[in-house]
Amino acid sequence: MEKFPDLENSAQDTFSSSITESSTHSSYDLHEKEIVQRSSVFGLFQRAALRCKMEVRGIERVPEDERTATSVYSPAYFWFAVNMVLPSVSIGGLGISVFGLTFWDSTLAIIFFTFLGAFPVAFYSTLGPKFGLRQMVVGQIWFGDHIACRIFAILNAICCVGWNTLNMIVAASLLHSINGGQMPPWGGMLIVACGTAILTLFGYKTVHFYERWAWVPTFGVFLVIIACLVKSDTFAPGTLASGKLEAGNVLSFGATLFGSVTAWSTYAADHSVYLPPTINSKKLFISVLFGVSIPLIFTGILGSALMASAVNTPRLATAYNDGGFGGLLYAVIVTDSLHAFGQFCLVLAALSTIAVGCANVYSIAFSMQVISEYFAMIPRVVWTFLGICASFGLAMGAYGNFEQFMENFMNLIGYWLSIYEVISFCEHFFFRKRSYDSILPADGKLHLHDNLPPGWASLFAFACGVAGVVVGMYQQWWTGPIAKLTNADLGFESAGGFAMVGYLAMRPLERNYFGR
């Protein structure tokens, strides 16, 4: 195992040599004071960060005596705030604006696919306290520390940046609509980027303290929006439709929803890793399941209602076409109703994107550090800063094509995450049978060396999953043969199915040959 520094020699060796030598040791617990003792330029950087009260821990395992979080509900509070945000509202509106559904069709799809996508997030959250490892490092237990795991880490880093890009675009669109467009889009993006940077650079404790209360003003703003929408008398829900075309649109919208919800699964353990291993796993699972689902269902239905009003009201449709989702909200809450107070509410709604941005930016570093032992030398705070800069640059370029960028991006997320989840579930339930005694025995020490799978089965399953994506996806630039038959995007379903067949066929052979 290459990525975890050696506890005993970390004080005298450089970071790079300690990574290499760690493969001969079984314990990877490092306290923060030992992380910063490396005699390299990065060690100096880490010591300066620690003096500033920033979290310096990257992919090193969290020792049990540093797992100071005590509430089983703390991850649920975090996910509640992360999803009670403006971008979640805009996602809910896609069912009508992009896929041509009615309000009731969209609502049913939102409820079903949100819960479906939230189950993996809740499950992976229970593994943070068990192993004391970040989500991308936990993935090595299933996929092996080889090509497949690094591919997933690369994809996850891309998704972290992509999601943060979407958040900045939504916030900039809304802030630009206030006061007649006096704030340029780049200004709104910069505000969100700076707010996100301040919180994520300080790390886990600061982010979780902020998220515990960040949802309160945002929820209040959403209640005001609902009241203004009811007062405007523009809402027209339409009727439930049926037929092959309707079913295809529902499934395509469902793929988008699934991608938006299950995207949190590769961050899950990152935000429960400071809980002790004695925490009640069932309570943690249920709390995270509802902490993710409830705000997403609420905001998704609100977005669907707003879009249903827009398509049936010419002036709202014009506001949406001219100013995007921010222009629609401005017309509903400011022009038609609250004026100056409405603008204040929209500022709060735009700033809510900082909450969801924290989740994305915080996890970038862990994915980057898993990609390569050389990347692991670079401190977490550096990767955090670079991730924010990359998101800002992409947001500037994608600002004018928000809907298309968001739909295609979230579908692609659903595709690869379906493969990730299927392989991990197969390994957990069928092959390890929910037991990790060889990796985490009764002594509480982490024994990764010689206990990881070789990774060839997961790589083969990933290739099978990619083939499933090709035949099932429905995008502007490619429509697979299965998608053509159904007129629906079945990329994440076919990807998961193909990956499952490939893994179940190859993993027994791998275990028989390599013995692990």
Point out the least confidently predicted range of 57-71, 141-155, 239-253, 336-350.
239-253
Structural domains in the chain, CATH included, are 1-52 (no CATH), 66-416 (1.10.4160.10)
pLDDT tens per residue, range 73-130: 999 999 999 999 988 998 899 999 888 899 999 999 999 999 999 999 999 999 999 9
Q: Is 452 left (phi over 0), alpha (psi -120 to 50) or beta?
A: beta
Residue 369 and residue 363: Cα distance in Å, rounded?
Answer: 10
Task: List helix spans (H) across 313-401.
Answer: 314-330, 340-351, 353-371, 380-398
Nearest Cα residue to 411 out of 355, 464, 476, 460: 476
- The span from the CA of 161 to the CA of 251, in Å, is 26
Measured distance CA(213)–CA(218) in Å, rounded = 10
**How much is the average pLDDT of 6-35?**
44
475, containing H or E segment = strand 474-475
Region of 239 on the Ramachandran plot (φ > 0 left; ψ -120 to 50 alpha; else beta): beta
pLDDT at 405: 62
The pLDDT of residue 167 is 84
DSSP character at residue 2: -
Q: For residue 16, what are the CA distances in angstroms to 10, 37, 126, 189?
A: 10, 13, 31, 36
CB atoms near residue 443 (< 10 Å): 9
Locate tokens 């992409």: which residue?
A: 394
Q: Does the pLDDT value for residue 6 go beyond 50?
A: no
- Token pair of 244 as six digits: 């092959």
Query: Mean pLDDT of all residues in the chain?
Result: 85
Rg value, the chain, Cα? 23
Residue 91 near residue 70, CB atoms below 8 Å: no
As a dihedral over the C-alpha atoms of residue 421, residue 423, residue 426, residue 432, rounded to 10 degrees, the angle is -110
Structure tokens at 406: 């968001």
What is the pLDDT at residue 444?
Answer: 67
Whether the per-residue pLDDT at 15 is higher than 90: the answer is: no
Whether residue 165 contacts residue 352, with contact meaning beta carbons closer than 8 Å, is answered with no
Task: In whole angstroms, give the CA distance from residue 176 to residue 179.
Answer: 8
Band of pLDDT at residue 259, cut at 50, 70 and 90:
confident
Positive or negative: CA dihedral 327, 182, 401, 85: negative
> What per-residue confidence (pLDDT) applies to 275?
94
Residue 283 has pLDDT above 80, yes or no: yes
Strand partners, 29: 61
Q: How many CA atoms lie within 13 A of 369 on its CB side?
A: 31
Determine the average pLDDT of the residues in 186-211. Answer: 93
220 pLDDT above the threshold of 80: yes
Return the bridge partners of 478, or none: 475
Residue 341 near residue 329 (C-beta atoms within 8 A): no
Q: Which residues contact 80 (CB under 8 A, 6 or more apart)?
A: 215, 291, 292, 294, 295
Q: Are 357 and 196 in contact, with CB atoms under 8 Å apart?
A: yes
Q: What is the Cα–Cα distance from 2 to 119, expressed in whole angstroms?
A: 31
Residues 6+ apart with CB under 8 A from 249: 99, 100, 101, 105, 488
Q: pLDDT category, 409, cuts 50, 70, 90?
A: low
Q: What's the confidence (pLDDT) of residue 38?
A: 65
Across residues 260-266, what is the average pLDDT?
91
| 344: pLDDT strictly greater than 80 | yes
Distance (Å, rounded) from C-alpha 394 to C-alpha 390? 6
Q: Which of 25-29, 151-155, 236-240, 399-403 has the highest mean pLDDT?
A: 151-155
Tell me which residue of 452, 432, 500, 378 sits closest to 133, measured CA to CA.
Answer: 452
Residue 206 vs residue 34, higher pLDDT: 206
How does pLDDT run across 25-75, given as a tens digit for each residue?
Answer: 334 567 777 777 765 677 787 888 888 888 889 998 998 888 988 889 999
- Asked whether the predicted pLDDT for residue 407 surpasses 80, the reply is no
Residue 269 structure tokens: 């353990």
pLDDT at 24: 30
Q: How many CB atoms lie within 10 A of CB 290?
A: 17
Return the residue matching tokens 């069932």: 282
Residue 232 has a pLDDT of 85
The predicted structure's pLDDT at residue 107:
93
Confidence grade of residue 3 (pLDDT, cut at 50, 70, 90)? very low
SS3 192: helix
DSSP string across 42-99: HHHHHHHHHHTT-----SSBPPGGG-----TTHHHHHHHHHHSSHHHHHHHTHHHHTT
Q: Is pLDDT at 182 greater than 60 in this prediction?
A: yes
| Secondary structure of 278-334 in HEC code, one letter for each residue | CCCHHHHHHHHHHHHHHHHHHHHHHHHHHHHHHHHCHHHHHHHHHHHHHHHHHHHHH
Q: Is 37 helix (H, G, I), strand (E, B) or coil?
A: coil
Binned at pLDDT 50, 70 and 90, residue 479 comes out as: confident
SS3 444: coil
Bigger pLDDT: 485 vs 19: 485
Mean pLDDT of the 464-471 span: 94
